[in-house]
Structure 1
Amino acid sequence: MRGIQLTLSQTQKIRLQKALEQLESLSSKVNSDASVTIADSIPVNHEDGVLKGHGTGDLNGEVVATVCGVVERVNKLVYVRSLRSRYKPEVGDIIIGRVIEVAQKRWRLEINYSQDAFLMLSSMNMPDGVQRRRTSVDELNMRCIFEEKDVVCAEVRGFQHDGLHLQARSKKYGKLNSGQLLTVPPYLVKRQKLHFHHLEQYGVDLILGCNGFIWVGEHVEARDEMVEDQVNQSDPQVPSPNKNSRDLEEQEKNYTALETRKYICRAANAVRVLSTLGFVITVEIIKGIIDLSLSLNLDIHDMLGSEFGVLVAEREVERRSSSKRKR
């Protein structure tokens, strides 16, 4: 059952097995021609000079699959895109990482990849919002921007001679606060046009990292605080706040309302349920799971129970069946 770690009763096992079989039949009808398993033959026209790519091999003059996945064709190239694999960075990927070292002119981040990634000081917007050359003072103040264990959102810039490099040249990237970082298998997060989501009805931000790191946190408006501070300091009529008032302002800024924290936990538990069941994680499914838990009047911790997991699987069968009928 896809490595599910739920403690199920006999009735729940039967219900879940039935739901998974229905989901498998629905997906097999859609990809019956494209899906292959190991040693399956891939029909090709040898007269066209086929190029055998990743996940393919030659056996007795036939092209066979060496991994389980979906057959993809690009001109003469034939390869198999594996359904379950480790994260492979591509330029433009939205990823989430954790800072593990502050080095010279760069931060080193752990991004759920076989090697760490680097975010250069020159590849991100400075807190003052001014486009300028980085100075030695900026390098000395790097820990004021990011320090060890900080969670950072960035974009894959590409591979260079010293490793994988990231960039954060937009206000939507940067340090993430007031939320939860979740780790799921990377193949459950598909590359989409939009990876930043604002769940307006819950006051929650959701970032689906292509590397399997998912962030659920309080909604934050994109604004530059350093610019506002400079404007206030340049205005002689604005009195400078003392240390106590500044501490109070920071506490109010970092405070998250109880209702918002509950929705953050519900969204995080929805992601955990989907990861346990092995379902592809999308914002629409997460919203549906949150609404399902609210309609059933479930406590937050009950969302991780076995009964709710079975209900989510059965609801996913209904959703896919209805979407197929609409087509």
Structure 2
Amino acid sequence: MEIITISKFNNNKGLNDEDEEMEDVSNNDQIVTPGELITEDTVWMRGHGTFALGNKTYSSVAGTILKVNKLLSVKPLKGRYTPETGDHIIGRVIEVGNRRWKVDIGARSDAVLLLGSVNLPGGILRRKSDTDELTMRNMLKEGDLLNCEVQSLFQDGSASLHTRSLKYGKLKNGIFLSVPRSLIIRSKNHSFVLQGNVSIILGVNGYIWIYKTPTVDNRLKTDSTASTASKLQSGVMGRQSGYQVGSGSVSLTRLEEESSWEIYSDKNDENISDAIRSNIIRYRNAIQALAHSQIGINESRINMAYEASMAYGSLGSLTEPEVMENISNDVLNGEKMRGS
């Protein structure tokens, strides 16, 4: 059996060299298998994915070697998602509990979304009350998909989530897709607007949501504002004739809160055309082709796979193994031609 040799560190290095050693170094060309001998050098500390037998270090998983200072570990090629603070992910609600939702994110343990970590309808910033707890199921219930971010980690490694941003929240008007989380390429942004009036969210945990690009409906805002102005004007005229404030007027905040419940609606938009539905399915099958060939997934590769799939008219043919391999080859050849 060939032994993978890893050199010792030079203790005479300067401070700058030592700082460089603190960075992660992934030997992508060295893939080890379970039970394979990594090194006989005892200077290394053994991390995740390794075990010791005597003075020798072996791999316990199939993956690539990672070195951080004197810590040696093996990053598995496949496995459950390990959450990190700041990760943009997609989860599915599996339980509504006491002021919190339990969310499946594909990790070893379920994540938690606290009631205080979501946006209330209308974007109101206030302390959550018992009334809000009673209406939790109106916002999110079992089976709902949500777009969220890892806020913090508990001591047992489970994640605490939050949706306190306009780019996060309940998902609809689309289709769900799951791929190996190791294929998702981390980037600064994981939400993209694609051609064909389709948008996509690439969750770091391997969960993907492909949906119709949302449009701003100014008509609802105009109607609400006009209705509010009319009722406020009625209140002013009423006060001049002895009318009591609050007996018939409606506040702007109340109208905004009522209309903003739409973000937690279970109904998909009725104006999703057949062309958009076909584009969503085509993007899904294109991503499946990349996953079939174990190709890393990012925005540019999704666009190239989509364009390559246009050569096949039938959406069903995109699921055939030969077609998926052809699409993957077109993506790889396109990257070579562009020099990437």
Normalised-by-shorter TM-score class: 0.7 to 0.9
Give the aligned partner of residue 208 of structure 2: 214
Preserved contact between residue 127 and residue 224 of structure 1 (Cα < 8 Å): no
- Counterpart of 1:92 in structure 2 is 86
Cα 1:276–1:152 shift into 2, 3 Å: same
C-alpha spacing 1:109/1:64, structure 2 compared with 1 (3 Å): closer
* Matching residue within 319, 322, 328 for 1:307: 322
For 1:151, the aligned partner's letter is L
- Rounded Cα–Cα distance in structure 2 between residues aligned with 1:252 and 1:164: 29
Structure 2 residue matching 1:205: 3-state secondary structure: strand
Select the residue among 279, 299, 302 that pairs with 1:263.
279
The structure with more radius of gyration = 2
Aligned counterpart, 2:66: 72
The equivalent residue for 2:32 is 36
AA at the equivalent of 1:304: T
Instruction: Name the CA distance, whole Å, in 2 between partners of 1:108 and 1:229.
Output: 37
Offset of residue 232 of structure 1: 5.4
CA contact (8 A) 1:127 1:226 kept: no
3-state SS of paired residue (2:230) = coil
Deviates more, 1:300-309 or 1:109-118: 109-118
Relative to 1, partners in 2 of residues 1:209 and 1:173: Cα closer, same or farther, differing over 3 Å?
Answer: same
Taking the aligned partners of 1:95 and 1:61, their CA distance within structure 2 comes to 40
Verify the 8 A CA contact 2:173 2:211 in the aligned structure 1: yes
Amino acid at match of 2:301: I
| Residue 294 of structure 2 is aligned to residue 278 of structure 1 | yes
Describe how 1:241-252 pairs up with structure 2 within 5 A.
none
**TM-score w.r.t. structure 2 length?**
0.72
TM-superposed CA distance for 1:225, in Å, is 11
Contact 1:108 1:118 in 2 (8 A): yes
Which residue in the other structure is 2:247 paired with? none
**Cα distance in 1, alignment partners of residues 87 and 287 from structure 2:** 20
Q: Which sections of structure 2, spanning at least 5 residues, go unmatched?
A: 1-26, 235-249, 251-258
| One-letter amino acid of the counterpart of residue 267, structure 1 | Y
State the Cα distance separating 1:228 from its structure 2 match: 8.0
Counterpart of 1:202 (choices 196, 214, 226) is: 196
CA displacement at 1:222 relative to structure 2: 7.9
After superposition, the Cα gap between the structure-2 partners of 1:98 and 1:224, relative to the gap in structure 1 and judged at 3 Å, is farther
User: Against the structure 1 CA distance between its residues 228 and 176, is the aligned structure 2 distance closer, same or farther, given a 3 Å change threshold?
Assistant: farther
CA distance in 1, matches of 2:50, 2:268: 57
Q: Aligned letter for 2:291?
A: S
- 8 Å CA contact 2:181–2:205 kept in 1: the answer is yes
Could you tell me which amino acid in structure 1 is paired with residue 150 of structure 2? V
Whether contact under 8 Å (2:100, 2:113) holds in the other structure is: yes
1:195 is displaced (CA, Å) by 1.2
CA distance in 1, matches of 2:131, 2:219: 19
The letter for the 1-side match of 2:321 is S
Letter in 1 for 2:325: V
TM-aligned CA distance change 1:137 to 1:57, over 3 Å = closer
Does the aligned pair in 2 maintain the 1:99–1:151 contact within 8 Å? yes
- Judged with a 3 Å threshold, the aligned counterparts in structure 2 of structure 1 residues 302 and 255 are, in CA distance, closer, same or farther, namely same
Work out whether residues 304 and 331 of structure 2, in 8 Å CA contact, stay in contact via their aligned partners in 1.
no
Cα distance change of structure 1 residues 90 and 112 upon mapping to structure 2, 3 Å threshold: same
Choose the corresponding residue for 1:298, options 300, 313, 321: 313
Amino acid at match of 1:31: N
User: CA 1:167/1:301 → structure 2, altered by over 3 Å: closer, same or farther?
Assistant: same
Q: Equivalences for 1:130-279 in 2 at 5 Å?
A: 130-160=124-154, 164-199=159-194, 201-220=195-214, 231=225, 234-236=228-230, 253-279=269-295
How far residue 257 of structure 1 moved from its aligned partner, in angstroms, is 2.2
> 1:221: Cα distance to partner?
5.2
Distance 1:108 1:66, change over 3 A: closer
The worse-fitting range, judged by mean Cα deviation, of 94-103 and 51-60 is 51-60
Query: What is the identity, as a one-letter code, of the residue corresponding to 1:164?
Result: A
Q: Which amino acid aligns with 2:46?
A: K
Change in Cα spacing, 1:288 to 1:316, as seen in structure 2 (3 Å) is: closer
What CA distance in whole angstroms lies between the structure 2 residues aligned with 1:258 and 1:312? 24
* Displacement of 1:305: 2.0
AA at the equivalent of 1:266:
R
Distance 2:87 2:117 in 1: 15
Number of positions where the alignment pairs a residue of Structure 1 with one of Structure 2: 284
Aligned positions of 1:110-121 closer than 5 A: 110-121=104-115
CA 93–224 in structure 1, closer or farther in 2 if over 3 Å, else same: farther
Deviates more, 1:97-106 or 1:117-126: 97-106
